[in-house]
Amino acid sequence: MHLHVDVSWLLDIQEVALVREDMSVSDYSALVAAVARHKTKLPTLAAADPDAAWRAAALMHTIVRLEPLPNRNSLYAAFVAAQYMDQSGEGIDPPYGALSDLVRKIRDTRVGVRAVADQLRSWKV
């Protein structure tokens, strides 16, 4: 199943993920970029039809790298990826702290979206 989300979906997820915080988006173009990136049909020459893990990874990677919120982007990105996988019918069960570690790798070592997708796939239930 190919779940295509929009900015409204991302804002709904933000409300759930950051329920106790009044957090305004500081860069809507970053959310638009995340939506556009996850919808691509040709992420690489080898993969013409990306799976849910790649699409979730594209959302996560873009949010971490572009930081659409004034803060808490790491939490938001992890929540978006988990929700995307779940709503695509491919839930994940990462070990404790693994999503945080993955976000840190994206932010600090600039790990690519393909590596993020591989990690998400390894956690599928």
pLDDT, position 66:
97
What does the chain come to in residues?
Answer: 125
Closest C-alpha among 2, 67, 89 to residue 38? 2
Alpha-carbon distances of 24 from 13, 48, 69, rounded to whole Å: 13, 35, 7
* pLDDT, mean of residues 107-117: 93
CA–CA distance, 61 with 117 (Å, rounded to integer): 10
**Which token pair is 64?**
């971490």
Class of domain 7-122 as given by CATH: mainly alpha
Alpha-carbon distances of 120 from 23, 26, 60, 124, rounded to whole Å: 27, 28, 11, 7
Q: What percent of the chain has pLDDT over 70?
A: 93
pLDDT, position 110:
83
Tell me the torsion sign for CA atoms 84, 55, 79, 68: negative
Residue 123 DSSP one-character state: T
pLDDT tops 80 at residue 42? no
Residue 50 · residue 57 · CB < 8 Å = no
Domain boundaries, the chain: 7-122
What tens digit of pLDDT does each residue of 68-92 get? 999 999 999 999 999 999 999 999 9
What tens digit of pLDDT does each residue of 87-108 get? 999 999 999 999 999 999 999 9
